[in-house]
Structure 1
C-alpha cells in the first residue's frame, strides 16, 4: 500500500491549495481540477486508512489515486509522476492507483519516442478564445503554433524538440483545469517549452518560467521566455538549456512553496555554468500570467532587465 512508502502530506503541502483545511486524516480543499473555490475535494492522509493517498471530488463524484493527482499538480504525465515517486521512495506496489478521473490515461508500458508526426496538428488548425482571454496575443499563439481540438474542447500546445521536430502535445480543456499529453510521445521531463525558437533565432537571453501560458504572457510583452513545464527541473533540462544559444536566464517563479523549490533547484543546477538572474512576480499575483492579466504587459519597472531580452515576435 501507499502508506508503506510515500509521505502523502509532504508531497502535497508545496502546492497552492484553495480554502484548504489540513487534519491528521484528510486534506479538504477546493478541487484542483475545476474552477471552483468551495472545499469539495479531499485527499485521505490517514496512514491506517485503506484509501491512504486516494482523493475524491464531491462536486463531480470523481475519485482516484495519488499518482494521477501528483501528475496533475506537477504538470507532467502519469508515467513521469510514477517515475518520480519510484526514484524518491523506491518501487511502488502494483495497486498504487485505481484511476477513475474522466481524463485520458496514458499507457505506462508504451515505448517513448523522441519525435512524433507533426501531421497530428493538421486537425487542430482552429482558434479558441481561451488563451486570448488570458491575455495572450494572436501573434504569440501563431509563434507557438497553438491550435484547438474541437472534439475534445481542448487548446493544443505543441512541445518541440531543439531541432524543431514535434516531441509532444499538451491538451488543455477550456472548461476546466484538466489536461493531458499525447500518447507515446517524448516525456516532458526531457524537454523545455520554446527551446526550438531560441535555436532558430539564436537568442542569447531568455526568461525562464514554469508554465507554458507564463511563457506566452512574457512573449506577448516582447520578452522571450521558455518554460520547464511545471515545477520539476532536472539535469536533463539543465543540459538542454546549457547546450542552447542561451547564455543568460532570468527566473520568474510562482508565488508558492513549489515555485521557491523550482527556483532553488534551477540555481543549484545552473550555478557556475550559466548566468542566472531572479525576477519577482508582484504580489498578490500567484504567477506571471495572473500578473499579466491583471496589469497588462509585464513592464512594471523592470524595463532595464527586460529590455535585453526583448525580441521581435514576427
Structure 2
C-alpha cells in the first residue's frame, strides 16, 4: 500500500494489486516495482517500470518508458486510464470509491439559492476542441482508411503533438469525449472533462444522423472506420474490450436493428463477443470468422473482410436479455 494524491485527497492505494489485474509481457515483479515490456508500443525488451512505493526520485505509482525514443513518464491514474481504456476522471472516481471510505461521489447538481431552482451541470466538451485540427491524416490513410471516411467520422490530426483524434459524439450532436492517439506508439489519452467512456459508443451519432439500420461492432475506433471503409456498413466501437449496460442502452435506443460482432481475434475479443450476445435481446445478432493470423478487422485484407461479412452467421438471442 502507498499514499498517493487523488483529486486533492491523499489515499492509501494498493498499487501492486491494481496493476496485477492486467497482462504484462516479460514481467519482473520486484518488491518495489514492476519491470516489463512497454504497454504503450510494440516492445520486445523490458524497458517499462512502475513503482509500488515512493523512491528517492519518484512518487509511488510513477511509471516510465525509456525504450521508445523520447523518454516517457507519467502518474498512476494516467497509467490505469490507458490500461482500462477510459478517461482519467473515471479512474479517479474508481480509486476514491475503492480506497476512500468516506467518499460518496460528486453531486451532479448544484443549488442556485439566489434563483431558488436546481441547475444541472452541463456535460460534455466544447466543439471548439476540434478547431485548428487538420481534417485528414496520412497515418489513418496508411491504416486503410480513406480521407472520405476520415471526414465522415470527423477525425482530426494534430501535427504539433503527433496525434490523431477520434470524437465521441452524442446522438444529438454534442461532443461527449475526445480520444487522442499517438501515431508513433499505442499510447492514447482523452481530453479532460468529457462524459465517462462507459456511457459512450463511437459512431452512434452517425446511426442517428443517417438512419443506419445495420452496424458492425468493434473494440477499436480504427477497426470501426476500416469496416465502414471496406463494406459501407456503419462501424461503431466500444472503445474497450467490454460492454457496459449504458453502452447497450445507447445502441438499443438507436435506429440500429442488426449488429455484426467484429471483436478482436483474441481472448479479450471472445469475452466481448459473449457479453454482447448475452446483453442484447431486441437486435438481430451476427458473428463473423476472422482468418488465422489476423488479430482484428484492420489486420484483414478488404477481400477477407468482405467475405467474412458476406458469410456472417446469425445468432439467436433471448428476448428476455436486458441491458
TM superposition score normalised by structure 2 = 0.74
Q: Is the 8 A contact 1:33 1:178 kept in 2?
A: yes
Q: Is the 8 A contact 1:220 1:297 kept in 2?
A: no
1 or 2, which has the higher strand percentage?
A: 2
With over 3 angstroms needed to count, the CA separation of the structure-2 counterparts of 1:304 and 1:35, relative to structure 1, is closer
Residues in 2 aligned to 1:180 and 1:21: alpha-carbon distance in whole angstroms: 24
Q: Which residue of 2 aligns with 1:135?
A: 144
Does the residue aligned with 1:221 lie in a helix, a strand or coil? helix
With over 3 angstroms needed to count, the CA separation of the structure-2 counterparts of 1:185 and 1:238, relative to structure 1, is same
Residues in 2 aligned to 1:179 and 1:93: alpha-carbon distance in whole angstroms: 32
Task: Give, in angstroms, the shift of residue 229 of structure 1.
Answer: 0.9
Q: Whose relative contact order is higher, 1 or 2, with alpha carbons under 8 Å and at least 6 apart?
A: 1
Q: Which residue of 2 aligns with 1:155?
A: 164
With over 3 angstroms needed to count, the CA separation of the structure-2 counterparts of 1:297 and 1:140, relative to structure 1, is farther
1:36 to 29, 32, 43: 43
Task: Give, in angstroms, the shift of residue 192 of structure 1.
Answer: 0.7
Structure 2: which 5+ residue stretches go unaligned?
3-11, 104-119, 314-323
Q: Is the 8 A contact 1:9 1:45 kept in 2?
A: no
Does the residue aligned with 2:306 lie in a helix, a strand or coil? coil
With over 3 angstroms needed to count, the CA separation of the structure-2 counterparts of 1:113 and 1:32, relative to structure 1, is farther
Q: Which residue of 2 aligns with 1:77?
A: 87
With over 3 angstroms needed to count, the CA separation of the structure-2 counterparts of 1:117 and 1:268, relative to structure 1, is same
Residues in 1 aligned to 2:157 and 2:310: alpha-carbon distance in whole angstroms: 34
With over 3 angstroms needed to count, the CA separation of the structure-2 counterparts of 1:264 and 1:93, relative to structure 1, is farther
Number of aligned residue pairs:
279
Q: Is the 8 A contact 1:253 1:287 kept in 2?
A: yes
With over 3 angstroms needed to count, the CA separation of the structure-2 counterparts of 1:159 and 1:4, relative to structure 1, is closer
Q: Following superposition of structure 1 onto structure 2, how do residues 1-314 of structure 1 map, counting pairs within 5 Å?
A: 1=1, 7-8=17-18, 10-13=20-23, 17=24, 19-21=25-27, 28-43=35-50, 55-59=63-67, 62-84=72-94, 89=98, 91=100, 113-222=122-231, 223-270=233-280, 272-292=281-301, 298-305=305-312
Structure 1: which 5+ residue stretches go unaligned?
95-110, 307-314
Q: Is the 8 A contact 2:216 2:260 kept in 1?
A: yes
Specify the structure having the higher radius of gyration (Cα). Answer: 2
Task: Give, in angstroms, the shift of residue 300 of structure 1.
Answer: 3.5
Task: Give, in angstroms, the shift of residue 174 of structure 1.
Answer: 1.8
With over 3 angstroms needed to count, the CA separation of the structure-2 counterparts of 1:85 and 1:144, relative to structure 1, is same
Task: Give, in angstroms, the shift of residue 235 of structure 1.
Answer: 1.3
